[in-house]
Amino acid sequence: MNILFVHQNFPGQYKHLAPALSAKGHRVVALGIGERKIAGVEYFHYHPKRGTSDKTHPWVTDFEAKVIRAEACATACKELDKRGFKPELICVHPGWGEALLLREVWPEAKQLHFVEFFYGSIGRDVGFDPEFPSPEFSGNCRLRIKNSNNLLNLFDMDHGISPTQWQRSTVPEQFRDKIDVIHDGVDTNRLRPDSQAVLAAENDRGEALHLTRSDKVITFINRNLEPSRGYHQFMRALPYVLEKDKEAQVVIIGGDGVSYGAPPQTGSWKQKYLDEVRSKIDISRVHFLGKVSYDTFVAAMQISAAHVYLTYPFVLSWSMLEAMSLGAPVVGSDTLPVREVIEDGMNGRLVDFFNPQEIARVTVEVANSANGDIRVKARQTIVDRFDLNAICLPRQIALIEKLARNGANLC
């Protein structure tokens, strides 16, 4: 079977699935913007012709960007078609617009979409945090227009995959029967606890770190340090954490940019909230590592005495599930995506996203407990529900083969 993967940042969620299908003898071709390639997968680029116009209505700018990508992607697909490649199945993440025009090139190809999130009414992610209120009328109007891409793709797809039940639940009810809940998968064979692990890194002051479990390390990770993933609340919890525990070392991993939402008016979110608490903390025990290698992330989770994961009601991060697989005791925000995985006091702890003192109190409590049972149960949760090779990858492949064999009628 000829299978096409389309993802702006390929491989993204297809890191394991694309090579697994290639290993089964299928011809696998991928299309994206970046440069990451995978053995067994033929990779091609698409190139947007321009950016958005400064004269476009602000509510439509996001959709215009998606149409520009859709045009570029369809143009690249027409070239692949001229070269003789005709996919029976297209696996696509539609979030950036690439899926919008695929039917114009290959109308008969089945489409399996990665349905990650549907923007809802104010309060799901936009407007959830009263510190960043969204004007009710204009905010709702912008979200309605922002969902244009999502709605078009939900109508057009043959079937979809969502990684969690909560993410599927954000989609309008009339489309949910078209969506299976199958997580991308966590490689629990690779991501295992190691009580002897060492975190060797350099902080943003140029100081070499050599940390182990005996150092009582509290960890916090964002792709980019920003409010949607609770960076501001974590920083506000730090004065209490460092005051109550004079031995704790705090390791913060993440970039200075923005992954979700808007940047601050000046500078970075990282600097804004560090400046807010700088005079109240012992900065010598706070270590910003910036963006790190995957191996460094793994070591940080293996030595963590308490890993704090905070998020708006939004897409659940891989990092939380991987931390649990690595045996890190997670202190997570009591928000719906986290609550789907963590049961308070069993395989982790849940705290109020908006209460820095509670975040701090529970973090100190966890960091000063043996947590052997929570570590074991956290990992067991991932093995039982999210294991890549035993659960997720076989289910993904079975769905793809069924879709190719039976068409869109899977329900």
Q: Is the pLDDT confidence value at 410 over 60?
A: no
Question: 287 with 138: CB under 8 angstroms?
Answer: no
Bond into 337 cis (ω within 30): no
pLDDT in tens, 157-186: 999 999 999 999 999 999 999 999 999 999
Looking at residue 411, its pLDDT comes to 44
Residue-by-residue DSSP string for 370-394: --HHHHHHHHHHHHHHHBIIIIIHH
Residue 139 — pLDDT band, cuts 50, 70, 90?
confident
Q: What is the mean pLDDT of residues 116-126?
A: 78
| CATH fourth-level superfamily of 2-185+388-406 | Glycogen Phosphorylase B; (3.40.50.2000)
Please tell me the number of Cα atoms within 13 Å of 88 on its side-chain side: 13
pLDDT digits (tens, 9 = 90+) for 256-280: 999 987 899 999 999 999 999 999 9
- Give 92's strand partners: 6, 113
Confidence label for 138 from pLDDT (cuts 50, 70 and 90): confident
pLDDT at 135: 74
Domain 2-185+388-406 and domain 199-386 have a common topology? yes
Angstrom distances, CA of residue 232 to CA of 271, 300, 310: 10, 21, 10
Average pLDDT over residues 383-407: 93
CA 47 vs CA 34, 144, 251: distances in Å:
10, 28, 38
Give the max Cα distance, the chain.
66
Extents of the domains making up the chain: 2-185+388-406, 199-386
What is the pTM (predicted TM-score) of this model? 0.94
Q: What is the pLDDT of residues 353-380, one digit of tens each?
A: 999 999 999 999 999 998 889 999 999 9
When the pLDDT of each residue in the chain is averaged and rounded to a whole number, the result is 94
8-state DSSP, 267:
S
Q: How far is CA 109 from CA 26, 74, 84, 150, 249, in A?
A: 15, 14, 14, 19, 53
What is the pLDDT averaged over residues 389-409?
88
pLDDT per residue over 287-332, tens digit each? 999 999 999 999 999 999 999 999 999 999 999 999 999 999 999 9
pLDDT reported for residue 338:
98
Q: What is the topology classification, in CATH, of domain 199-386?
A: Rossmann fold (3.40.50)
Q: How confident is the model at residue 126 (pLDDT cuts 50, 70, 90)?
A: confident
Percent pLDDT > 70 in the chain is 98
The average pLDDT across 44-62 equals 92
Q: Where do the H-state alpha helices sit in 129-171?
A: 136-146, 148-156, 165-169
Strand 199-202 with 208-211, pairing: antiparallel
Residue type, 229: R
Q: Is the pLDDT of residue 285 over 60?
A: yes
Instruction: Please answer whether residues 324 and 348 qualify as being in contact, where contact means their C-beta atoms are separated by less than 8 angstroms.
Output: yes
Q: Which of 55-59, 152-156, 228-232, 386-390 has the lowest mean pLDDT?
A: 55-59
What's the rounded Cα separation, in Å, for the pair 103 and 172?
23
**Of 265, 260, 253, 266, nearest in space to 308 by CA:** 253
Q: What is the pLDDT, as a whole number, of residue 140?
A: 82
